[in-house]
Structure formats: C-alpha cells, structure tokens
Structure 1
Amino acid sequence: MTAASSSVLRIGTRGSALALTQTGMVASDLSDATGVRTELVTITTDGDRSNEPLSRAGGMGLFTGALRDALVEGRCDLVVHSLKDLPTAPHDQLVVAAIPSREDPRDALCARDGLTLEALPAGARVGTGSPRRMAQLRAKRPDLEIVDIRGNVDTRLGRVAPGDLDAVVLAAAGLRRLGRADVITELLDADRWPTAPGQGALAVEVRRGDEDLVRALDHPETRAAVEAERHVLALLEAGCSAPLGARAVVDAGLLLLSASVYSLDGATVLTSSHAGVWPDDGDVSLDIAEGVARELIDAGAAGLTGARP
C-alpha cells in the first residue's frame, strides 16, 4: 500500500523519550492539519546502540541512517529527525518536505545549586558530548574541567550533583519538549553562543513524490533560517561533530546569518556574518551562506574543522 493510498500514515521515529515526544507532536499537528490518522513505528539507530563519544561514533547519520533505510524500504511513510542530526548532502530517494516552526534554538546550562556558567567555581566539571560546546566552554571558562558524556536527557541530568558533574549543557528545545525546562539554570545567549546548525528544528522526511503528505507542516521562515545554517556546514565540509556554531533569523524582511568556527581548545574563534533580503526570487539562504563560508575559509577555518575547501 502506498503512502498516498493508505488510511493510516506510519511515522518512523527513534525510541528515546525525546524522539517519541517530538514525533508525537508532529503526528498530532499532521492529524490536525489534514485529518489523517497516524501511527508511530519505533526504529533503533546506530546512535542508540553505541556508547562511543559522538566525535568518534560515526558523525552525521548516526541517528538517522536506520530511519532513512526504513523509509526507503517502505516500512514507514515518513520519518521525523532532529534536523541537527541529519546529513547535509541530499538523498537520492528522500526529501525533507516539511520543517515545522522552530523551538528555542539555544543551549541550556543545567547546574547544581542553580549556578550560572559565570558562577561555576574553578575546576567545576561540566559534561557535554558536543565538540562545539566543549570548545565554547573552553573559550569562555578555560578553568573548567570539560567531561565528554553520552546518554539520553535523563542520564545526563542524573550525573549532575549529587552525581559526578557540576553541570551539563543540553539543547533547550529538547528540555522544553520534554517538560523539563525547570532544570535549566541559564539559557546561553544565541548571538554570543551560536549552536549547532538546525538546532531546535525538526525535519519531516518522505520519499520523493510524497511531499504533499506533510507540506502543510512546513514553516517558511524556519526553513530559510536553518537552510542557511546548514549550507555553511556543507560548504565547509564539516560534519555534525565539527566545532561550528551558526545562528540565522528572519527579521524585518532580512535573513541574517552568523557562523563561528572554533579550535577544540577554544583558543581560536573565527566568525563571519552576512544578510540578504527575504523572501526573494533566488536562494538567499545559499547566497548568504556562501559569503559566510568564503570568509571563514579565507580566515583559516579549514584548519579548525578539517574541511577541504
């Protein structure tokens, strides 16, 4: 039975609490918008099986490959990804047909005793699995001990005192979607602390030709912003584990993009910003991303991300 003729749309998802929550939100919104019935199909990915640090466990595709395989093979009709986990290269059989309105893209500090990043004592142990966050923490607070961690949200939060860590850094979007915003002790300003390209956004992927199934969920401003961020990532040939942060917003008819590349020790930070009129008749997301990427490459970003300009 094809997706178009099915009375129930099967939505592929990872089995984590966050993935199930996010996919449930998309399923509810899709039913509200189109009247279609949905069911969730849980799929285990390589990222769910591995305890390796993200920087060594396979990079982009770690959490998305098995979902995409299930979609190609017809075991589900669409899949929901955290956009920041999705490879930037186009898929020959699949397309991101909808990017819903973005949740808060900021990083969140979750620390013992309500502490902020500035208030953490020297030598405090801060956990994260992101090389970008590690570099940013080292740039801001070189006196902290940065600990490479893995695990779901509850596992990471459970390591904060009385566990072995003083704080962890997580995505605010995930905490909000899980109803755990109460654990946030500081939201890190997105302009000074740019996050992973696409952070806070979801991607709804379908087989080519089935775009109309989910098109009602697409949010054009969010799509323009996250595509600009992800174009920078692609142009620098940097994977999701690269120490790169990007921030794009639509404001007053302009699409504004800023991106920063970090050395892993936090000692070097390269930043570039560009803007373009939005909407326009061309591809302003790509145009401004090319300008940003060109400036970063000229400044030496390839030496920091491992890119091949």
Structure 2
Amino acid sequence: MTETTATPTTPSQTAEVPLRVGTRASLLARTQSEQVAALLREALGREVVLVEVTTEGDISAAPLASMGGAGVFVSALRDALLRGDVDLAVHSLKDLPTYPQEGVTLAAVPPREDPRDVVVARDGLTLGELPAGSTVGTGSPRRAAQLAALGLGLDVVDIRGNVDTRIRKVTSGELDAVVLARAGLARIGRVDEATEVLDPLQMLPAPGQGALAVECRSDEEFLADQVRLALDDDRTRAAVTAERTVLNVLEAGCSAPVGALAEIAEGDHGDELWVRAVALSYDGAVAVRRSATGTPDDAVGVGQRLAAEMLEEGADTLISERVS
C-alpha cells in the first residue's frame, strides 16, 4: 500500500491554497476535469488547478483487457492522490474498479451525461445499414460481444486510442464504423458526428458509463464534505451504485462483457429504481439478461438481487471463459 505524507487541510486554509485536481492528459479527460473544476471554483470560491498525471493505459498500445481493463487508467491518479501530489482525482466512473481502495474516498458523483453508446459510421450509416463484412472498431469486449449478438455479420476489430484517433479511422477509410460512448462525444462538443444512438435494448452501456467520479483522500473529511455538497447528485449515485453492484457481485472486471443500466422513474409510491443487466459470452453467442426494480435508497440491494439471479442462470461462466 502506498502511504500518504499529506497533511489534512483545515477549513481556514481552503481559501488560500489552490485545490489541485488530478486528471489524465487526454482532451476528454481534461475537459471532464475542467468541468468539475469550474463547478468547484463557483461553489467553494477558491482557486482550482488541473494537474496532469500519466497512466499506464495512456502510454501502452496493448489491448485494455490484457492490462486488466479500464482500471489501468485509475491507479496512477490514485497514487498521485495518496502521495499528496493532488487533492482530488477525476475519473470516468466506468473505469473505477468495484472494490474499495484503502485511503481513498468517493467524494462525489456529479449529474450523469446520457449513458448510451453511439455509432460513428461512414456515409452517415447506422449499424443496420452497414453491409455484412463491414469493419467496426471498439476496444470494449462488452461492445464487441453485443455487436456479435446482433447477428449483422459485422467484422468487429479491436482498437485503442482517444476519441479523435478512433473517429479518424472512419474518416480515413481504415474502418467502416466505430462504437463510442455518447457522453464522451458530448463533453468535447462532437456529439453531432454520431450517426446513430444505440438503444439500450441493442447495446447496454458499461456500468457507470456517462458518469464521473471525484475522489479524495479518506483523511480529508472536510474537503470530502465540501465536494459532496458542491457536486454530488443523489439520483446518479443511486443508479451507478446499482449498476456497479451487479458488476461487483458477478466478480467481473471493468473489461468483462457485462452491461448494466439503472434508471429512476416516478412510481405510484415514489421514485422507483429499475435496473437492466446483461452478461455475455465473449463471442456474443450466449447471454443472460435480467432486470430488477426497487427503491433508490436500496440501490445496493437491487443490484445484489439482480446479480444473484444472473448467477443462477450461469452468468459467471460466460464472463470467466473467453471464447477463442
């Protein structure tokens, strides 16, 4: 375990010391972190600066699944946090491992962007309009398995890179289409480039997709309270908690072929939490799909019950054995 040498910040210091927000260096990561920083400046009335941190996922060209999944984007930011190099770390929530990190607290989950996936295809085409054999790029086993399950005869290829790199593979003619998170395109002002927004019935998003996570050191209780009051959204937190609980109970990592989406809607007796989830074999040939409902204040319980039903149907077997 990495030990922190940072001294907890007292309330009297907050107006004098700039708040350092750790971020990855990509355009999307910096844009997300700057959105968080702007909200904190307004709410806390203090200077907030971004500090770039390079992660293993940023410097390696290997497939994410071979490096342990999207969690490789998180560890360097958490290390910087624990060392005291930064005061807060901003992540895409879908990248966070579901197990807790000692010394780190999830201070806030801001309001979520649209969590759905989108297609960016040549000639403005949708998935259904792409001819059989068309090449579709994604670095996500979850997306690859669900694309295969659609039975469209598409050639799904593994890709890495930032949003611009992936879209350029389409505009250059290297690929016919790519599948991306709508939230990322929206945050950098490029959502109009999507040629189709995928219905969750076709493509369930990753647990936590579209949401951000703001972490701080566990010994910074005053700062955590400030950040929570400034940024946290109860409905978003309940939804992503249910989704991530499904992932956790299934013992599936961030790169497993598991999709989940929770939504809160008004019911006859108050707000209701509705969760849908899918676990697939890596080739998309077999899937376990289930849904569950409950109340937002029982988000963990709803996720646990849903995952238990999926385990009874063999979901753990699907996600533990990669199909060759």
* TM-score category of the 2 structures, normalised to the smaller one: over 0.9
Determine if contact 1:46/1:62 at 8 Å carries over to the other structure: yes
In structure 1, list runs of 5 or more residues that go unmatched.
none
Deviates more, 1:224-233 or 1:190-199: 190-199
Task: List aligned pairs for 1:1-309, cutoff 5 A.
Answer: 2-4=8-10, 5-6=13-14, 7-208=17-218, 209=221, 210-215=223-228, 216-252=230-266, 253-279=271-297, 284-306=298-320
- Give the partner amino acid of 2:279: V
* DSSP-derived class of the 1:56 partner: helix
Is the CA contact (8 Å cut-off) linking 2:64 and 2:70 kept in structure 1? no
Q: Per-residue CA shift, 1:10-59, capped at 9, x if unaligned?
A: 00000000000000000001111221210000000010011011111222
Structure-1 separation of matches of 2:95 and 2:172? 31
Report the AA paired with residue 304 of structure 1: L
CA contact (8 A) 2:24 2:30 kept: yes
TM-score by structure 2 length? 0.91
Q: Judging changes above 3 Å, is the alpha-carbon distance between structure 1 residues 157 and 199 closer, same or farther for their aligned structure 2 residues?
A: same
The residue type equivalent to 2:226 in the other structure is L
Q: How many Å separate the matches in 2 of 1:3 and 1:259?
A: 41
Does the residue aligned with 2:128 lie in a helix, a strand or coil?
coil
- Measure how far apart 1:239 and its partner are: 0.3
The gaps in structure 2 that reach 5 residues or longer are: 1-6
In 2: Cα distance, 1:190 partner to 1:13 partner: 29
Q: Secondary structure at the match of 1:159?
A: helix
Give the match for residue 3 of structure 2: none
Partner Cα separation in structure 2 for residue 306 and residue 286 of structure 1: 23
1:176: how far off? 0.4
Q: After alignment, is 233-242 or 140-149 more displaced?
A: 140-149
Q: The residue matched to 2:248 in structure 1 has which SS? A: helix
| Matched-pair contact (CA < 8 Å) for 1:256–1:276 | yes
Letter of the structure 1 residue corresponding to residue 200 of structure 2: A
Q: Which amino acid aligns with 2:290?
A: S
Q: After the TM superposition, list the runs of 4 or more consecutive aligned residues in structure 1 that deviate by more than 3 angstroms.
A: 1-4
Deviates more, 1:175-184 or 1:135-144: 135-144
Could you tell me whether the CA contact under 8 Å between 1:98 and 1:203 is conserved in 2?
A: yes
Equivalent pair of 1:255/1:285 in contact (CA under 8 Å): yes
Q: Aligned pairs, how many?
A: 303
RMSD of aligned Cα (Å): 1.3
How far is the alpha carbon of 1:91 from its aligned partner? 1.4
Measured in 1, the distance between the counterparts of 2:295 and 2:85 equals 41
Tell me, in whole angstroms, the C-alpha distance in 1 between the residues paired with 2:202 and 2:294. 21
Q: What amino acid maps onto 1:135 in structure 2?
A: A
Conserved 8 A contact 1:191-1:247? no
1:259-278 deviation digits (Å, cap 9, x = unpaired):
10111111111111111123
Moved more, 209-218 or 100-109: 209-218
Alignment partner of 1:175: what SS? Answer: helix
- Which stretch has the larger CA shift, 156-165 or 114-123? 156-165
Letter in 2 for 1:147: V
- Deviations along 1:200-232, one digit per CA (max 9) or x if unpaired, are 000000011231231120000000000100001
